[in-house]
Structure 1
């Protein structure tokens, strides 16, 4: 007898998910950010290269507080999120957490997977004592900004410029979005 598979769900990533996460990562970045990235980054965005780094993130995270969650449609991984304690200079240790990446495969957008991941992220982080969730978003990414705004995030005034090329020829300005998520102690 086989185990039933839910139509859609969120769960912690497993090592066997790394290939699918790499594919989702490549598909989503190509669809959303291809115009922002220099041509030479294409090799770094190849699904096998990304899968290798995601396997390491799943099996050997930098800390016990780092998490990778996946959204599924039936048995298929269609989206993922990577979470960490806050990494910014102004982050409050044990209080601030960060979405390192949240991506939905372009073929699966509009199905609620991003919202499910965001809600599961807030629940997971809150259960681990975090009270603030932050995310960096490229300034030209209006869809991601709208998504976060609808989820209760606001721009908190912090900005940074990323050097996508490594030589200053392709830079991207990012805005930091933040939301209070409370903590387990607040319940």
Structure 2
């Protein structure tokens, strides 16, 4: 059984590995190849480690952990989500900054469960609404629409020196996301 739990500083390296693997599998052709090849797991791990230690602005990270397949193996982080109070005012009170699940672990409800953990955390710290940014050409953008996220803004950002369109998806009130991520069987 895959468990969703609050991430610890010791998870930073595994979180970074998932981040890099997901960017490299999701964004070829959307982002420059040189940018994707240059993603540095140690540098990215350092950023996640600092976030996990400092926990500023209501920040929290949640990991999806698969049990070991063999007795000598360790549990494997196969996905994660991060959230915090919104970086920008005006769109929502809370923000889901990241949601990544390794390709081989998709279609198992992990994204939904990670989104629910993030939304529950944000609701617990007093956020009445939540949003996230997703690249407009992200092939998994439909996932947020299926969870009833509403498109409320678009903008262009630079990633690897290339302008890329992104969209803000909103759940207001936050209970909409909590309801959309609930399952009748409680999983």
The TM-score, its normalising length taken from structure 1, stands at 0.82
The separation in 2 between residues aligned to 1:79 and 1:154, in whole angstroms, is 24
Structure 1 runs of 4+ with >4 Å offset = none
Unaligned runs of at least 5 residues, structure 1 = 1-6
The separation in 2 between residues aligned to 1:177 and 1:138, in whole angstroms, is 11
Contact conserved, 2:65 with 2:77, CA < 8 A, in 1? yes
Indicate the residue corresponding to 2:94 in structure 1. 97
Backbone CA RMSD of aligned residues = 1.8
- Residues 1:165 and 2:160 aligned together: yes
Indicate the residue corresponding to 2:5 in structure 1. 11
Task: Write the deviation string for residues 5-43 of structure 1: whole angstroms up to 9, x where unpaired.
Answer: xx1121111111111101100100001113222244246
The separation in 1 between residues aligned to 2:144 and 2:128, in whole angstroms, is 17
The separation in 2 between residues aligned to 1:77 and 1:18, in whole angstroms, is 10
Q: How many residues get paired?
A: 168
How far does residue 91 in structure 1 lie from its aligned partner after superposition? 4.1
The TM-score, its normalising length taken from structure 2, stands at 0.82
The separation in 2 between residues aligned to 1:8 and 1:39, in whole angstroms, is 32
Q: Which of 134, 158, 168 is 1:176 aligned to? A: 168
Residues 135 and 53 of structure 1, relative CA distance in 2, 3 Å threshold:
same
- Residues 1:152 and 2:148 aligned together: yes
How far does residue 44 in structure 1 lie from its aligned partner after superposition? 4.8
Unaligned runs of at least 5 residues, structure 2 = 68-74, 177-187
How far does residue 87 in structure 1 lie from its aligned partner after superposition? 1.7
What is the correspondence of 1:4-153 to structure 2 with a 5 Å cutoff? 7-42=1-36, 44-63=38-57, 65-74=58-67, 75-91=75-91, 96-143=93-140, 145-153=141-149
